Chain A
Amino acid sequence: DTAVSQTPKYLVTQMGNDKSIKCEQNLGHDTMYWYKQDSKKFLKIMFSYNNKELIINETVPNRFSPKSPDKAHLNLHINSLELGDSAVYFCASSLSGVGEQYFGPGTRLTVT
């Protein structure tokens, strides 16, 4: 009964490949987020969806495309992976975009 779950936990792939990361929350929240944590532990928001609508879209390469099929799910698809995409990607969720954010376990992406 994990609150915010992500799959996969680890992802190792080669440059140029396309990959997806999935996120699901069972907290009944209506807002979901993607964050990237780089090798220096710096955390930066990438995207946010509220009720399946994109509300935050930071300066992220358009190789990254989020998709929210419903309020409980937010996926991240990455095309043409580059070495610099290697990082830990965290999904989070909150209620009504103003509540406390709950984070998933993270997906460690390594691009070789």
Chain B
Amino acid sequence: ELKVEQNPLFLSMQEGKNYTIYCNYSTTSDRLYWYRQDPGKSLESLFVLLSNGAVKQEGRLMASLDTKARLSTLHITAAVHDLSATYFCAVVPPGTASKLTFGTGTRLQVTL
């Protein structure tokens, strides 16, 4: 059974600092997604990573994928308060018709 683990589960960081969230998964995967969820809100798609070595950047967030290590990272550069949210990675195993398996989520709190 596919397991997807994220760490840390909770991250409190100061504005202006850098940090990385890690997403490990236990079997091979066709693709990996990163989502953001604000409290009481829906999930917003941030990145789709399709191949080994894929790197995508949007603003202060950069996601990468290492399929050999079964690891994805979400790097936050110079954090701002607006980035406070819960971040989920989700993995699709091959041949499972888009059956997203979500990680545990990382709750990010950016303080002034």
Contacts and interface: CB of A to CB of B under 8 A. Distances in A.
A106 interface: yes
Contact of B104 (A42, A48, A104): A42
Interface in A24-43: 31, 33, 35, 41-43
B97 A90 contact: no
Contacts, number: 54
A100 B33 contact: yes
Nearest to B90: A43
Interface size class of A (residues with CB under 8 A): 20 to 34
Contacts of B44: 103
Interface string A78-112: 00000000000010101001111111111000000
Interface residues of B, number: 22
B85 to A, nearest CB: 11
Given A42-B105, A100-B33, A48 B97 contact: yes
A41 B100 contact: no
A56 interface: yes
A106 B45 CA distance: 15
B41 interface: yes
B48 A104 contact: no
B43 A97 contact: no
B99 A56 contact: yes
Given A31-B98, A41-B86, 4 more contacts: A41-B37, A55-B97, A100-B45, A106-B42
28 contacts: A35-B100, A41-B37, A42-B102, A42-B104, A43-B88, A45-B100, A45-B101, A50-B97, A56-B97, A90-B42, A90-B43, A92-B43, A94-B98, A97-B97, A97-B98, A99-B98, A100-B33, A100-B45, A100-B48, A101-B100, A102-B45, A103-B35, A103-B42, A103-B43, A103-B44, A104-B42, A105-B42, A106-B42
